[in-house]
Chains A and B, each alone.
Chain A
Amino acid sequence: MQRRTFLGLLGCLAAGVRAGDGRPPIRIGLTPVILDDRVAFLRRWAHWLEARLDQPVAFVQRAKYQDIMELLSSDQLDAAWICGYPYVRHLDSLDLLAVPVYQGRPLYRSYIITRADNQKAQGMQDLARGVFAFSDPLSNSGYLYPVYRLHQLFPHLPQPQRRLFRRTFFTWGHRHVIEAVGVGLADAGAVDGYVWDQLARLHPELTARTRIVERSPEFGFPPLVAPHHLETERRERLAEVLGHMHEEPQGRRLLASLGLDRFAFRTPSLYAGIALMASSVADERSQDS
């Protein structure tokens, strides 16, 4: 046998074995529930997943939660890391893949923040007549919780989030809320507590310009979900890989980079609190209209 032919065959074999060659990639949607602008980290994570899944992995990023939700419902994503609020709204079409465990528990909080030099505000009730920044209308910590909280504080005021503040706006990202409050564009804002903590670790100069005036009760951590229609085998494989991520050094390094302990499997009941708030606010809304 000619040596050249042998080498050629070997090359063909190697190419065939290479992960992801010709096969459609697993598309995972990301929302700003994590610091999603860390491109180098995402590449490392994608490589790690590709090696485990034996399949190409593509992270899909969109500015708004809504965009990711639409991609999910239109079958363009195999999985997505979304907030608890849109999850409870689409419970019937989404399966929980994995829930991040943060500081030992699969829970996180919402922070109400204001500028660091605003020493007067002690709680949300002190923020009236200011400019308030929400992160995304589909964010639990960045929209649902603060609205719910305002309803609690001002039970007789319909739509308090629109009447209490001089102006409100969405920044489409927790990090942007922190920036908007930091530069004084907004007087206060609501932000994912986990993102604030991570940003405080990575960019302390940004969080140093803000001050937390209120911490919410704990809610289920934004989960990784998959649409119902994803093949069971793929879904289980993905859940298994994520669930065992913390068992190997490289996976642990990636998790540490995210500031998480591990991924765990949990039942949807973890998000009952969010569901309650969502229905309460929705009732309010239907009463108004």
Chain B
Amino acid sequence: MSAALRSLRLRVPLSLVLVTLLTFLFVSIAIGIQTSINLQADQERSLAAQAHALAPILTEALLHDDVWTAYTALRGRRSPPDAQTPDAPFHLVLDEQGRIFVSDRPGDFPLGTPLQATPLGRALAAHLGGGTPRAVSQFAFDDRQLVHAPLLSEDAPVGALLIAGPRGAIHQRLLEILGGGLLVMLMLLLVIVPLGWLWGSRLVHPLVQLAACMRQVGRRPMEALECPIEAGRDEIGDLARGFQSMLAELRDKQALERQMIAQDRLAAIGRIAGGVAHEINNPLAGMLVAIDNYRRTPPQRRDPERTLALIERGLGHIRDTVSALLVECRVEQRRCSPDDIEDVHRLILADDATRRVRLEWDNRLRGELPLPATAIRQILLNLVLNAVQAAGESPPGEVAVTLERDRRHLRMQVRNSGEPIPQAELERIFEPFRSGRPGGTGLGLWITYQIVEQLAGEIVARSDEAATCFEVSLPFPHDAAEAA
């Protein structure tokens, strides 16, 4: 089905037109069948009535051997030159011996010849079955309806009248009637079909408008969406009005969301600034205290080396903090090999915390990956150590690691059975200085996130009653993916 036909704009008017046409078709067929039945009955009645009307005069003509009177009775009011068409009705009078006494088609049925020799005679014999009936009977022959009426004088047969109805009369009449009917129907259809089309189009128009509007949602900015829909008070009207109010609500919601995002961003910046300030403040305070102590100490007892070392440690701390915040994937040529992954596995197994959990390590990677080895090691180590820690807090802990690849991506999945992370927490989990554990720097997941970002990948955290799961997907560089 073409796209145009899938649209209600065409389907509804077409359906209306189709239903109209089908209705007309079925009505025509019903009328045709009924008419044909009626015509058959009418013809039978008319032929029988004719036979009854002709019988007395023909009986008398037969008794008086009066061919001409019988002929004029058969001929009726038709004048002799009236050309007999082959399909026209005809009459036959048979004498007692079955010879043709008279017929109004003497060319085909010559006087005095036996009818038995003709196909009609044989059909008649088959119909009568050897008997001499006293009642009018009918049979069909050669697409004609025939009436056999015995001519009786005081109940004794003196001959018979045979009336053959017109050949194919019923079909012809039926065609005439149906032809006329069809003409009327066609004329009606000429009016009804365009009306049906118009009505259908009118009915669907608001729906089409609505659909066009809905397609715009998401493609164009909400503010630019204009949806004037001409709809009545029916269900489609309700739908249109509902859609309009939904659009309005969507616009409000979008505006609200933007406001909230801006606020969130400000809040996050605030939190990060606070965290950074805090991280820098601590060593700064230590350094200031060291300088203050140095000044207060009498010069002879001063130990500049110690103070300098103290200041150096503080500055180192600050440098570490700042450089951790400025995570940068150094460009390195070494690609990640299976050994790198196994190194991480071994490191994890060596950790004391790992002994308290059941680790499931499913490494499906084979061969080298077109990704920097250090970055992968760092991400994996961070995530697994976090997981082991989380799982270890609520025994019996379980950690499951899955590593796999397809043609274009490396996928890492790290699951643990630890306490679920609340939703609010989950939303901010990748922000710096938000350690879930005492003693943590709060920079692990931040760094992981930054590395994944720089590798143009994705990291997602999910948590529910069953498990907390981190999923990382890293795309292979374009040329490498092709090579793979």
Contact = CB atoms under 8 A, between A and B. Distances in A.
A183 B106 contact: yes
B80 A169 contact: no
A201 interface: no
A179 B111 CA distance: 15
Interface in B176-229: none
Nearest to B71: A185
A179 B69 CA distance: 13
B291 to A, nearest CB: 150
Nearest to A173: B68
Q: Which of B66, B68, B106, B110 is the most central at the interface, judged by chain A CB atoms within 10 Å of its CB? A: B68
A244 to B, nearest CB: 38
Interface string A109-153: 000000000000000000000010100000000000000000000
Contacts of A131: 110-112
Which of A169, A186, A205 neighbours the largest number of chain B CB atoms within 10 Å of its CB?
Answer: A169
A215 interface: no
B111 A167 contact: yes
Q: Is the interface of B mostly helix, strand, loop or mixed?
A: loop
Interface string B361-384: 000000000000000000000000
B107 interface: yes
B80 A182 contact: yes
A180 interface: yes
Contacts of B107: 184
Contacts of B80: 179, 182-183, 206, 209
B81 interface: yes
A185 B67 contact: yes
A45 interface: no
Interface string A143-180: 00000000000000000000000110111100010011
A166 B112 contact: yes
A170 B68 contact: yes
A167 B112 contact: yes
A205 B81 contact: yes
Given A185-B102, A205-B81, A206-B80, A180 B68 contact: yes
B66 A169 contact: yes
Nearest to B69: A172
A172 B102 CA distance: 16
Interface string B83-97: 000000000000000
Contacts of A186: 106, 111
Contacts of A166: 111-112
B65 interface: yes
A214 to B, nearest CB: 22
Contacts of A184: 106-107, 110
Contacts of A183: 80, 106
Contacts of B112: 131, 166-167
Given A131-B112, A206-B81, A171 B106 contact: no
Most buried by B among A133, A182, A184, A205: A184
B67 A169 contact: yes
Contacts of B69: 172
Contacts of A167: 67, 111-112
A211 to B, nearest CB: 16
Interface residues of B, number: 14
A133 B71 CA distance: 13
A172 B68 contact: yes
Contacts of A205: 81
Nearest to B81: A205
A180 B110 CA distance: 12
Interface in A203-224: 205-206, 209
Given A131-B111, A180-B71, A185-B106, A169 B81 contact: no
Nearest to A167: B112
Interface string B69-81: 1010000000011
A176 B106 contact: no
B298 to A, nearest CB: 165
B360 to A, nearest CB: 114
Interface in A181-195: 182-186
A140 B65 CA distance: 21
A183 B102 CA distance: 12
B68 A171 contact: yes
Q: Which among B67, B102, B106, B107 has the greatest number of chain A C-beta atoms within 10 A? A: B67
B68 A209 contact: no
Contacts of A206: 80-81
B64 to A, nearest CB: 10
Contacts of B66: 169-170
Nearest to A208: B81
A63 to B, nearest CB: 9
Nearest to A115: B107
Contacts of A170: 66-68
A200 to B, nearest CB: 14
Contacts of A172: 68-69
Interface string B106-125: 11001110000000000000
A214 B112 CA distance: 25
Interface in A245-267: none
A186 B112 CA distance: 11
Contacts of B68: 133, 169-172, 176, 180
A185 B81 contact: no
A176 to B, nearest CB: 6
B216 to A, nearest CB: 85
B237 to A, nearest CB: 78
B218 to A, nearest CB: 90
A184 B112 CA distance: 13
B452 to A, nearest CB: 112
A209 B81 contact: yes
14 contacts: A131-B111, A133-B68, A167-B112, A169-B66, A169-B67, A170-B68, A171-B68, A182-B81, A183-B106, A184-B110, A185-B111, A205-B81, A206-B80, A206-B81
Q: Give me the 7 closest cross-chain CB pairs, A-B, nearest first.
A: A169-B67, A171-B68, A167-B112, A184-B106, A185-B106, A184-B107, A179-B80
Given A180-B71, A184-B110, A185-B71, 4 more contacts: A169-B65, A169-B68, A171-B68, A183-B80
